[in-house]
Amino acid sequence: MTAVEPRAAAGTREQLVRALTGLGSLQARDGGAVTVRIPAGALEQAAHAAAGTSGVRLADMFAADGDVTVLRLVWAYETDKPGYIITESEIEGEEYPPLSDIAPAAFVEECEIYEQFGIRPAGGKPLNRLMLPPHAGTELPTLGHEPSRPPEEVHAPYTVGGQAFEFPFGPVRQVGVESLYYGLVTSGEEVVDLYLFTWHKHRGVEWRLRGKTVSEAIFLAERAEGLSAVAVGWAFAAAAEAALGIAPAPAALRTRAVALELERLYNHAAATAALCQATGLSVGQAAAEIALERLLRVNAASFGHRYLFGVVEPGGVSRAPDADALRRELPGAYDELRRTTDALLGTNSFVDRLEACGILTAEQARRLGLVGPVARATGLATDARLAAAAGPYADHPVNVITAAGGDVFARFQVMLGETAESVRLIRQFLDEGTGADRTLVPPRASTGLGWAESSRGEVLAWVALDSGGRITRARLRPGSARNWRGFDDACRSQNVFTDIPIIEASFWLTVAGMAR
Amino acid sequence: MNPLDLLYGAGGAWLAAALAGLLAGSRRPGLLTCCALSALGGAAALAGGGWSLIYGNTPVVTPGGAAQTITGGPLQLQMTSLAGVFVTLLGIVAVAIAWYAPRYHEPGHGTAVYLAVYNLALFACLAVLAAGGMVTFLVAWETMSLACYLLILRHPRSDASARGAFWFLALSEIGFLLVVVAFVILSTKTHATGLDAMAARAHLVNGGWRAAAFLLALAGFGFKAGLVPLHVWLPEAHPVVPADGSAFLSGLVVKLGVYGIALFAFRLDPVGGAWPGLVTMGAGAFTAAIGILYAMGERDIKRFLAYSTIENAGIIVTAFGAAMIFHAYRQPQLYAFLLIAGLYHVANHGCYKTLLFLEAGVVEHAAGTRDMDRLGGLVHRLPRSAVVTFVGTLGIAALPPLNGFVSEWLIFQGLFQGFRTGSHLIAILIVLAAATLGLTGGLAIYAFVRGFGIPYLGMPRTRQSAAAREEGQPIGGPALLAVACVALAVGAPVVLAALSRAGRTVTGVSLGRLLLPGELTVIPAHADFSAFSPTYLAVFLGAACAVPTLIYLAGRPRAGSTSVPVWDGGMVRFRPRMQYSAMTFSAPTRVTFDALYRPAVSVRRASDDPAGRSGPVHYEAQVTPVFERYLYRPVIRAVEWLADAIRPLQSGDVNLYLLYVFAMILLAYLVGAL
Amino acid sequence: MPLWFARGLRRGVVTTRYPARPDGSAVALPTPPAFRPLLLTREIVDRMIAQCPGTALSRAADTLVFDAGSCTACGRCARVAPHAVTPSGEFELAATTRSALIKMVPILGERR
Amino acid sequence: MTPGPDEATTAERLRAQIAAQFGRSLHIRTLDTGSCAVCEQEIRLLSAPHYDLHRLGFFFTPAPRHADLLLVAGPMVRAFEVAARKAYEAMPGPKVVVATGACALGGVYQADPFMHGEVEAVLPVDVWIPGCPPSPLALLHGLSVAVGRLAEKVPGLAFVADENGGGA
């Protein structure tokens, strides 16, 4: 693979935009996102230009089906003025340039697009099955037209020479965890390869969002990844708002931000509990779960839902938090968590299992386009909250917590840092005042991109609306959909099977978010 | 009338079989005749060998009179009890293979030649064992080597068989050279060519010469016996021979090497002093351990079995070496006991290894491959073979109640009594050897759990192995050997009685009652040490298995019970790739002994895209053939270099050659002039 | 480990007594709506049905069919008619028949 | 079975019932048939100190072979159907299936090529627990109801529950 390496000298965002515009034409420019139309011929060149600029990451890639399939690449720009650049190109025929050769992060999306739209990267590299199970009884509907021929069996780890075998695990795994199939390819000792089937949970959310109004759609959107309901909801709402050209009231945005940070808090607490479970530290798990439960009760007390469902709505929020309850309850719950984590950091049997376990290098994270704590633990300061041109995170800049090492312990430390940061932010947002205003949504035909930083990393949403305000294409990309692709590399850095649960806990992803 | 006369019959029958094979083997009836004759010869050899165990040594006879025969010396024949053990084995193996061959081979020209050569090889082996003089021995030995070389060349077009045959021939010839020198030393020093005469006058030779002769013989025969590092021909040759051929090589030819060692160690020149024994024992133990470790690294059933042959040869030689030590330390009983134990293991290994190779042939024909990782689930497809193979596997894994266990137990009992030498150092060294054999035994069980489990149990890994059928596959021969294995276990007392008689003719020590005080109990040479009865053990284990079975059958719940598939985590279905493979099964050993294996690991994928791999994963861990690479390759290179260095002399240009001649003459004149 | 032991002791018992005793934390939980038949009109009901993101609400003539099983307690119906719809506060809803979760609410608001 | 009039004895009765019929332990296997990961979080919390369902004699088991109760969340994605059936068949009788959460009860998704939309379409559900997600308390209540169903399913036993009139 000859992936393009970024040049040392970072061009400014405007330079890149100009470079891309030179190849095509500027479509739209709102808040954080710039849309450039690139002719299919120049797509490869454009991808080179973007991937070659340091601080630019391929954040997402998806297609939409009209009379002709349109391929959109979302580039996250992370240095001087963070934001997003969307390139859209109309693809005639079955093939488009092999983008994953330029930006490896595109591979999973290439597979997904092939499944859904039947267009594939030129060069005929084998693509994996992602969402559509091979054993599906009925023919599953796709967003676009069918692929000419179905993708090859996922990773088919037919171990030629038979010097390794596949250790099957799942889809029904331990109690109280999501369905997921691990194919653990091992030579008896080391982890040769690890691959995942997530289609046991593929619910076709993007498919069923079509034809709904954004207000109806957000109900399903936030259930795409329930543990990041606020983040996904916000990203989706923001996309809708961008499309409809409305800006929610600052108070409403602060409400969202409070909810978002609460969500981050309880997720990190849950991850801590999972880490304890994976390392066999039951007492720590119990302590962390006490903190988790208290945080969830804070959520319930302040927003009326333990998992903050239904808080975010297009145009604003459905309800404001009970600020007094929050001020009253949160510090206690947070101290509970903090005491537990402090004790954990003092427990060698715990820390030793975390250190040098499931290592990912910054290089890997960058190439794979990883986001969230996983990426930040490798030293990449990537955070979608920085990309806010306005709103609470612009007024109260978040200081991004990073760590070096990229191992489980680094991820744990990032989580700890972020919990403290979240509490600080919540306090500031509350002090500035939160509200439940909701601007109503006049329908109009347009498209928009939205984003939010969930506890698992950047969530992206993109919607295209028709004149009736109904969705023609909605793209949801929760953090999980990104970070699972780093999981097998992290596991392969390890030779011990028993570390895999620890690594999984430290990623703290959901299958739901991946399978949607 | 003595055993020798029977053996004339056997030899004649095999020559006839060879002739029949050569003339008519290309058609089914001729093939059958050939095999029938071969079996007849086998039966005769079996009878003769068996008889000679009881009869003792026959006098040396010279059928051609003292006249110089084509052998360049008088043809001297003699049947000794020591050789009798091997002749008996030869008989059993010959019968089993003769029973097996007609179904295994397709009639045809190649087969005809092959069978002819094979019967010739049988004859030559018999001649080796019946040789009463050194010239006869050497001629027979060389004939045997060449015959085996032709056997290995069954499919001369394939490079593999050419390589295997070459390795065999090259090493045999080197070995032969050493053996010749050893014999020459003895005969010149003893002024005798008859083996008896040599043995009788051996004490006249001074220690240095005798030691030299012994070491030469040990090395020379070691090439045949597969002593590490002289073993390299086995894994190369066995895979390319037809199954019965490799069965013959492992079951017998290797044993002839062992016979040669025994011949020198115990009969011709029992060297004084402990160190030759120590050398022999050390070589044996080393061979055993290395052999089984390499066996763990093999996926090809035949190569796997070949390495296990090396291991067993090592065990036998260890026993012989220990026997020599005890001899040097005036422990006649243990000396005799370990010799007997070693011979016992010879017989056992001859049976089950032949069996396993024959069954490997069945598997190869039925499933189209010998690669364990492409087999699987054969127990449902080849049930008869599975049962027979299982018996052989129990035997070779030295698990009670089968024969392998008996002989290995005896060997261990002998080694554990190393303290009786009185010398601490020697005692420690012997126990060290015992420990090595212990490790070997443990690994052997591991290896054969794999060797049986991977091909026979689980799911078939390829379509071919799923389509394997038993119809038309030979079974008689292996079954006979399975019976022999059980007999050798249950009938241990009888066997030991016979062997102790045979041993007496060599060692002069009579163990009879000391070894077998009761009818069915065995005492390892010293009553105060330990005792056990293979027969009772077999019976007891049989009962121990039967009782729970009966209880289960009796107490099986009558109530209706539902059977549901195994809980597989909700997978759509198990796939063959999800089962332990041969190489993953042995991965722990590979990791533990990686200093020896030096595995070179390579992982390849159809697309090694860092953003999500795709396509088949190809994982290989190649074991480095240490001895080939670091011992033989340099030698080969040196030889090649020498050849290159000489080549320029021969330009093929006549004038140049004339110049050489002229120069030579000139030189001669000059020399003459001076 | 001793440290954890000490923490555990200091932490005391947090375990709920439920089901022996009711649990205080239940009050904050989102619960399916309770309808005031007298304040319901067809028009209100239809608007609520339109707002319901799931399949919990439907109308058969003059009865509002409310399927508590399908209800996600999102509260959208309550926002349509805050006076007619209030949280039921009932969370012990588990039933042994599906039909037990379906409630028929007469629409009596028309009468007046 | 809604808890009897006498609240204080509910837990006692539950424990007694479990003790009587299931040797002091009723084992639960959970299934995720396409949930949004929140129901799983709530189920995990059942064994957390705040709810600690072990005190009532419930235990989680990873192997359906040992399970008496199948706790199913999610809208039963068709691709998961095989696994769901296998898990159910792997359980020894008597067994109950508890559908957990609005998805499992058909409140969020309708039947379509992707999913059945509710658990009932594939497995014989005995107890329905509403809620999105059902809180741990709701789950505890649901489990107590399930014990009642399970008790009814055990043939020819005197039900402790019925004796003190709590059998529903």
Chains with 3 or more CB pairs under 8 A to chain A? B, C, D
Mind listing the domains of chain D with CATH numbers? 26-143 (3.40.50.12280)
Q: Is A306 on the interface with D (CB under 8 A)?
A: yes
Q: What is the average pLDDT value for chain A, to the nearest integer?
A: 84
Best to test chain C binding among A218, A283, A294 (most C CBs inside 10 Å): A283
- Give me the torsion for CA of B8, B12, B15, B21, rounded to 10°: -140
Please report the DSSP string for D56-81 in residue order.
Answer: GTEEE-S-GGG-SEEEEES--BGGGH
For residue B592, the model assigns a pLDDT of 84
Q: Find chain A residues with C-beta within 8 A of D45's C-beta.
A: 289, 292-293, 296
Cα angle for residues B215, B221, B222 (degrees, 5° grid): 80
Question: Helical H runs in B56-108?
Answer: 81-104
CATH number for the domain that contains residue C54 = 3.30.70.3270
Q: Which residue is it, tokens 């097998």?
A: A488
Q: Which residue is it, tokens 């032969």?
A: B176
The closest of A108, A174, A176 to A500, measured between CA atoms, is A174
Best to test chain C binding among D100, D128, D143 (most C CBs inside 10 Å): D128
Nearest-angstrom CA–CA distance, B510 and B503: 8
pLDDT at A1 exceeding the cut of 50: no
- Written as six digits, the tokens of A350 are 């715990």
Residue B569 to residue A1, Cβ atoms within 8 A: no
pLDDT at A8 exceeding the cut of 50: no
CB–CB contacts below 8 A, A to C: 45
Taking the domain A214-515, which CATH number applies?
A: 1.10.645.10
Nearest to D3 among C19, C67, C70 (CB): C19
* % of chain C at pLDDT higher than 70: 96
Q: Which residue is it, tokens 């055990």?
A: D154
- Give me the torsion for CA of B477, B481, B482, B485, rounded to 10°: 180
- Written as six digits, the tokens of C21 are 């005793």
User: Binning pLDDT at 50, 70 and 90, where does residue D2 land?
Assistant: very low
The number of folded domains in chain C is: 1
Strand C102-106 to C63-67 pairing: antiparallel
The closest of B174, B196, B199, B341 to B265, measured between CA atoms, is B199
Count of C-beta atoms within a 10 Å radius of residue D12: 13
For C94, the closest chain D residue by CA position comes to D129
Taking CA atoms, D135 is separated from A273, B39, B103, B399, D105, in Å, by: 19, 82, 73, 59, 15
Fold for the domain defined by A13-121: Beta Polymerase; domain 2 (3.30.460)
Q: Which residue is it, tokens 């722990």?
A: B588
Chains with 3 or more CB pairs under 8 A to chain D? A, B, C
Nearest-angstrom CA–CA distance, B10 and B391: 29
User: Binning pLDDT at 50, 70 and 90, where does residue A83 land?
Assistant: confident
Nearest-angstrom CA–CA distance, C104 and B440: 80
Is the peptide bond preceding residue B276 cis, with omega within 30 degrees of 0?
Answer: no
Domain extent for C78: 27-111
Question: Which 3-state string (H, E, C) describes B653-673?
Answer: CHHHHHHHHHHHHHHHHHHHH
- Written as six digits, the tokens of A129 are 């099955």
- Written as six digits, the tokens of B538 are 């077999």
For residue B559, the model assigns a pLDDT of 64
For residue A155, the model assigns a pLDDT of 56
Best to test chain B binding among A159, A184, A193, A368 (most B CBs inside 10 Å): A159
User: Binning pLDDT at 50, 70 and 90, where does residue A468 land?
Assistant: confident
Nearest-angstrom CA–CA distance, A87 and A47: 9
Which stretches in chain B have pLDDT values below 70?
A: 1, 64-73, 557-560, 605-617
**DSSP reduced 3-state for A474:** strand
- Give strand ranges (E) for B443-599: none
B343 CA to centre of own chain? 13
Nearest-angstrom CA–CA distance, A270 and A265: 9
Q: What is the average pLDDT value for chain C, to the nearest integer?
A: 83
For residue B268, the model assigns a pLDDT of 82
For the stretch A323-366, pLDDT in tens is 888 888 889 999 989 988 988 998 888 898 888 888 888 888 88
Q: What is the average pLDDT value for chain B, to the nearest integer?
A: 87
In a domain, C20, yes or no: no
Nearest-angstrom CA–CA distance, A181 and A495: 20
Q: Which residue is it, tokens 């088991």?
A: D61
Please report the DSSP string for A54-105 in residue order.
Answer: TTEEEEEEEEEESSSEEEEEEEEE-SSS-EEEEEEEEE-SSEE--HHHHSGG
Would you give the DSSP letter of residue B194? B
Tell me the CA end-to-end span of chain C in Å, nearest whole number: 70
For the stretch A188-225, pLDDT in tens is 777 877 888 888 888 888 888 888 888 888 998 988 89
Nearest-angstrom CA–CA distance, A231 and D144: 35
For the stretch C92-111, pLDDT in tens is 888 888 888 888 888 887 65
A450 CA to centre of own chain? 12
- Burial of B539 from C-beta contacts in 10 A (0-12 / 13-18 / 19+): middle
For the stretch D74-98, pLDDT in tens is 899 888 888 899 899 888 878 899 9
Q: Is B463 on the interface with A (CB under 8 A)?
A: no
Instruction: Please provide the size of chain D in residues.
Output: 168
Question: A65: which strand partners?
Answer: A69
Cα angle for residues A160, A161, A165 (degrees, 5° grid): 75
Taking CA atoms, A452 is separated from A26, A97, A384, A393, A432, in Å, by: 24, 30, 6, 11, 20
pLDDT at D161 exceeding the cut of 60: no
Strand D96-100 to D69-73 pairing: parallel
In a domain, C4, yes or no: no
Instruction: Name the A residues in 191-220 with CB < 8 Å from any C CB.
Output: 216, 219-220
In a domain, C89, yes or no: yes
Phi, psi of C106 (to 5 degrees): -65, 140
The helix-helix angle for A499-507 and A250-278 (nearest 10°) equals 170
Nearest-angstrom CA–CA distance, B506 and B312: 23
Residue A283 to residue C11, Cβ atoms within 8 A: no
Cα angle for residues B164, B169, B175 (degrees, 5° grid): 125
For residue D4, the model assigns a pLDDT of 44
- Written as six digits, the tokens of B673 are 């002039």
Q: Find chain A residues with C-beta within 8 A of D46's C-beta.
A: 176
Domain boundaries, chain A: 13-121, 160-197, 214-515
CB-CB contact of B290 with B228 (8 Å): yes
Across the beta sheet with C57-60, what order do the strands follow?
C57-60, C63-67, C102-106
The closest of B435, D130, B579, B514 to C94, measured between CA atoms, is D130
Domain boundaries, chain B: 1-195, 272-552+580-590, 626-673
Best to test chain B binding among A110, A113, A165 (most B CBs inside 10 Å): A165
User: Binning pLDDT at 50, 70 and 90, where does residue D167 land?
Assistant: very low
The closest of D149, D159, D140 to D55, measured between CA atoms, is D140
For A201, the closest chain D residue by CA position comes to D34
- Burial of B407 from C-beta contacts in 10 A (0-12 / 13-18 / 19+): buried
For residue A153, the model assigns a pLDDT of 59
Instruction: Name the D residues in 89-148 with CB < 8 Å from any A CB.
Output: 103, 108-109, 112-115, 132-133, 135
Across the beta sheet with A165-169, what order do the strands follow?
A165-169, A181-186, A191-197
* % of chain A at pLDDT higher than 90: 18
Nearest-angstrom CA–CA distance, B307 and B284: 14
Cα angle for residues A458, A460, A466 (degrees, 5° grid): 170
CB-CB contact of B97 with B32 (8 Å): no
Taking CA atoms, C20 is separated from C23, D4, D12, D57, in Å, by: 9, 11, 8, 14
Mean pLDDT: which of A301-310, A432-441, B202-211 is highest? Answer: A301-310
**pTM beyond cutoff 0.80:** yes
For the stretch D86-142, pLDDT in tens is 899 888 878 899 999 888 988 888 888 888 888 888 999 999 999 888 989 899 889
Across the beta sheet with D69-73, what order do the strands follow?
D58-60, D26-32, D69-73, D96-100, D127-129
| pLDDT, greater one: C3 or B489 | B489
Q: Is A207 on the interface with D (CB under 8 A)?
A: yes
CB-CB contact of B94 with B253 (8 Å): no
